[in-house]
Amino acid sequence: MRPASRLTFPARTAAPNEVAAILHSFTDHLLYSLAKDQYSATMHDKFMALALTVRERLTERWIATQQRYYKKDAKRVYYLSAEFLLGRALGNNLINLGVLEACREAMRMVGIDLDALLEEEIDAGLGNGGLGRLAACFLDSMATLNIPGYGYGIRYEFGMFDQEIKDGHQVEKPDEWLRFGNPWELPRPEYALPVHFGGRVEEFTDEDGKHRVRWTDTDQVIGMPYDMPIAGFGPTSSVNTLRLWRARASAEFDLRVFNDGDYEKAVLDKNRSETISKVLYPSDLKVFGKELRLKQQYFFVACSLYDIVRRYLSVRNTFEAFADKVSIQLNDTHPAVAIPELMRLFIDVNGLPWDQAWELTTRTFGYTNHTLLAEALETWPVTLFGRLLPRHLTIIYEINRRFLRQVMSRFPFDEARVARMSLIDESPGDPAGKRIRMAYLAVVGSHAVNGVAALHTELLKADLLRDFHEMWPERFNNKTNGVTPRRWLLASNPKLAEAITGRIGDGWITNLSELHRLQHFLDDAEFLAEVRAIKAANKKALANYILTANNLVVDPASLYDVQVKRLHEYKRQLLNVLHIIALYLRVKRDPEAPMVPRTFLFGAKAAPAYSTAKLIIKLINAVAEVVNADPQMEGRLKVVFLANYRVSLAERIFPASDLSEQISTAGKEASGTGNMKLALNGALTIGTLDGANVEMREEVGADNFFLFGLTAAEVMALHKNGYRPRDYYERNAELKSVIDLISSGFFSPDHPELFRSLIQGLLDHDPYALLADFESYVECQKRVSETYLDQDRWTRMAVMNIARMGKFSSDRTIAEYAREIWGTLAVP
Ligand code: 26Q
């Protein structure tokens, strides 16, 4: 520790971003905002003080940005998403603001290690996985590109659960991310809004003799906005706003206390309305009929639309120009109730005729689909929906009536098509009754519909939304996902970033295609050595983390083989495990045979109710226990399950990865974005022709990508022609020995039947074709090991991967959305 006297500082005379001024703000915040002195300040207090210092420096630009948008009367784009998986903000803001080194120096002067301070921040984990993180990358890119963009979502009090591993099993702990306060949010009680639920629909004639509808006798909750600044990268970029809504009880509840005299009940009711924004649903699979989830969706959509319309009307008094000034992007169907809600605002609240309201609505919305999996498509029982949102139900019925009339006139005598395309699924087999198909509603109510990778969009057009594509081919377009190079290279892998900048300058940070110039250095031994040394150092750092977190020693010279993503059967972590067991058996059979030492790293959360996924986590840990305890595996195999995979852990893992496992069943992964982050950090991919892997391979070249497995078309044909997984088991001796070993109870001696259901699932059904792809996967992994033996070749391939990742910047993705869907221009 430095002497405490270092915490007293000169008066503020320097420019705000100079070291002295930063230090001055920092100590002011410690004293005046946190009421701490050098004796009582904890590391976390110091983190808070620096965060508040940085927030101050964002504020001027934030206000200036919003004024610019207002003065230019710019077209705004609103990104509606139930999830924003932001992770930590401090390091990112320091970099985007350009004050990282000044702050490092200021902290050094008072004996604080900035990197240790950054570790104090709790992740903002307001998302499940890819979809939520994509929203966060998009915010970064919109701000960097000076696009007048706003994120709108929910301020969950509890984000994605914290995962602990106990006896190999996943245990969930609530994520109390707000426990020590959130320095990045600004409550805006002055913009609080009422939101209505329930009640009934009433028709009446207004003073002009017009037939009108009103929604009455509703329950109310209040939406309280919390704003977070989103700083773009560089001195001339924007600071945009992420507005998250928190549910509060309305004043009505307080009146009820007064009137009913039932204090206890009134306070309990108050509590109930505030549960709406309590917790993120930790499942990226369908959850049937959860009323609270629908309440969450409508709650944030209603608040956001009210806000959007209010902002529009603050400078205009007719709706004529609405779609020229407002674009709203729906991040999957989670906010799709925005379509009937905007119709309600136009028609019921503002008296617009249906046709005009509908034209404006469809011109305003764009819909992004993120999945082809049938079980992940959102539908809501009509009864539940009608109880909560009776007016919206009548609007949806009217949308459907007019839409089906259009279908009939376009495709007369095709009744089957009409039933297939209806927004209401009336399939008689369903005991819960009719259901609303939210994806269809989103397509009908939008002028643009996109998938998130080329293959995914093609499958959407050919499969899930085929009928809709036949009707409106012009609505469909592809927007291949991307990731922000600021967080995923510049901030998380500073040494590699510096090495790159040393060779090609720093233009790549905002123009990632410039990375292609690294190809000039493919034969530059010095550069290759530098890249290799950086990877080695990053692997060492991760090994240190693993030693602390898992109490395991891993060898930084071994090949780090990494699969980090949500746990899902279609992502096939189990296929990875089958390969590990195959290697284990090979060593057991022939302990002297040479092999490339590998460390297998897993990180994955399972939805708490997804028992198969949880069982796969247990299997990974059971295999890890056997492998890691076996002296014969020493220097050969190690298996590590990294608990609580999240954004900040991803930032440690990617820079240290050699091999990126992207092994989903072809046709199932919409895009993937971890695949891009890993390749950008110099990992080579072993993968199927699925999602964005297809385009990544196109970019890096077939020689620099380890491809295996069936294509999407082959997988479909396999199932159509009566797939018999057991045949693969019988015919492949290695596969058989692996399966038999699990079946024997070898990995669960105290409970030999534990993994029985996994094995039965593979042998009898195997819907994700693990057994069909096993041989191809294992063969491909042999090629990986052979290649790794030639470190020079491996490093050149890694550099080629980095050099060819330019396409996968979210800046490119956002520029495409802006030009082709939103029609928004930069406001620099
Ligand atoms: C739906 C209804 C009820 C409760 C929860 C949900 C729910 C929540 C989250 C459904 C899906 C999600 C998340 C989906 C997701 O993350 N999809 C991923 O999106 C990425 C970004 O486009 C893609 O790269 C991935 O391929 C895709 O799986």
Tens-place pLDDT, residues 433-447: 999 999 999 999 999
Q: Tell me how far apart the alpha carbons of residues 153 and 332 are, in angstroms, rounded to a whole number.
A: 13
49-66: pLDDT as tens digits: 999 999 999 998 999 999
Nearest CA to ligand 1 atom 10: 284
**pLDDT (0 to 100) of residue 1:** 39
- Index of the ligand 1 atom closest to the CA of residue 287: 3
**What's the gap in Å between 284 CA and the centre of ligand 1?**
5
Contact assessment for residue 577 and residue 619, using Cβ atoms and an 8 Å cutoff: yes
Which whole number is the average pLDDT over 640-648?
99
Provide Rg for the chain, Cα atoms: 28
Contact assessment for residue 182 and residue 110, using Cβ atoms and an 8 Å cutoff: no
User: Catalytic pick from 243, 370, 435, 469?
Assistant: 370
User: Catalytic pick from 461, 487, 565, 697?
Assistant: 565
Closest CA to 338 of 366, 303, 301: 301
Q: What percent of the chain has pLDDT over 70?
A: 97
| Pocket, ligand 1, Cβ cutoff 6 A | 128-131, 134, 281, 283-284, 286-287, 293, 370-371, 376, 378, 452, 481, 669-673, 691
Number of continuous H segments (helices) and E segments (strands) in the chain: 33, 25
Where residue 258 falls among pLDDT bands split at 50, 70, 90? low
401 is catalytic: no
565 is catalytic: yes
Beta-bridged to residue 245, according to DSSP, are 154, 225
Q: Following CA atoms 19, 20, 24, 26 in sequence, which dihedral angle do they give, to the nearest 10 degrees? A: 20
Beta-bridged to residue 661, according to DSSP, are 686
Which whole number is the average pLDDT over 504-522?
98
Contact assessment for residue 600 and residue 580, using Cβ atoms and an 8 Å cutoff: yes
Where residue 322 falls among pLDDT bands split at 50, 70, 90? very high
Helices 19-28 and 100-109: angle between axes, nearest 10 degrees: 60
Where residue 12 falls among pLDDT bands split at 50, 70, 90? very low
683-724: pLDDT as tens digits: 999 999 999 999 999 999 999 999 999 999 999 999 999 999
Q: Which residues contact 740 (CB under 8 A, 6 or more apart)?
A: none
Contact assessment for residue 656 and residue 534, using Cβ atoms and an 8 Å cutoff: no
325 is catalytic: no
- Index of the ligand 1 atom closest to the CA of residue 129: 16
**pLDDT (0 to 100) of residue 125:** 98
Determine whether 809 is exposed, middle or buried from the number of CB atoms within 10 Å of its CB (0-12, 13-18, 19+): buried
Half-sphere exposure of 801 (CA within 13 A, CB side): 29
Range of lowest pLDDT (208-212, 214-218, 251-255, 312-316): 251-255
Q: Tell me how far apart the alpha carbons of residues 26 and 31 are, in angstroms, rounded to a whole number.
A: 9
316 is catalytic: no
**What's the gap in Å between 389 CA and the centre of ligand 1?**
24
Among all chains, which residue has been given the structure tokens 């391939």?
797
Q: Tell me how far apart the alpha carbons of residues 249 and 372 are, in angstroms, rounded to a whole number.
A: 38
**pLDDT (0 to 100) of residue 3:** 46
677 is catalytic: yes
**What's the gap in Å between 452 CA and the centre of ligand 1?**
12
Residue 185, pLDDT above cutoff 70 = yes
User: Catalytic pick from 344, 571, 646, 668?
Assistant: 571
Q: What's the whole-number average pLDDT of the chain?
A: 96
- Index of the ligand 1 atom closest to the CA of residue 691: 26
Q: Tell me how far apart the alpha carbons of residues 608 and 530 are, in angstroms, rounded to a whole number.
A: 43
Q: Tell me how far apart the alpha carbons of residues 596 and 575 are, in angstroms, rounded to a whole number.
A: 20
782 is catalytic: no
Dihedrals φ, ψ of 558, to 5°?
Answer: -75, 160
Residue 532, pLDDT above cutoff 50 = yes
Contact assessment for residue 450 and residue 368, using Cβ atoms and an 8 Å cutoff: yes
Whole-angstrom CA distances from 786 to 125, 310, 504 are: 39, 62, 31
- Index of the ligand 1 atom closest to the CA of residue 376: 10
User: Catalytic pick from 566, 572, 636, 638?
Assistant: 566
Whole-angstrom CA distances from 782 to 220, 465, 707, 789, 823 are: 62, 39, 12, 11, 49
**What's the gap in Å between 369 CA and the centre of ligand 1?**
9
Q: Which residue has the higher pLDDT, 253 or 671?
A: 671
Closest CA to 54 of 136, 114, 132: 114
Q: Containing H/E element for 185?
A: none
**Substitution candidate for ligand 1 out of 371, 384, 664, 688 with most atoms within 8 A of CB:** 371
**pLDDT (0 to 100) of residue 374:** 87
Strand 659-662 versus strand 637-641 pairing type:
unpaired
Q: Tell me how far apart the alpha carbons of residues 99 and 35 are, in angstroms, rounded to a whole number.
A: 25
Determine whether 405 is exposed, middle or buried from the number of CB atoms within 10 Å of its CB (0-12, 13-18, 19+): exposed
**Tokens read off for 617:** 């986590």
| Residues 463-477 as b or e (16 or more Cβ within 10 Å = b) | ebbebbbebbeebbe
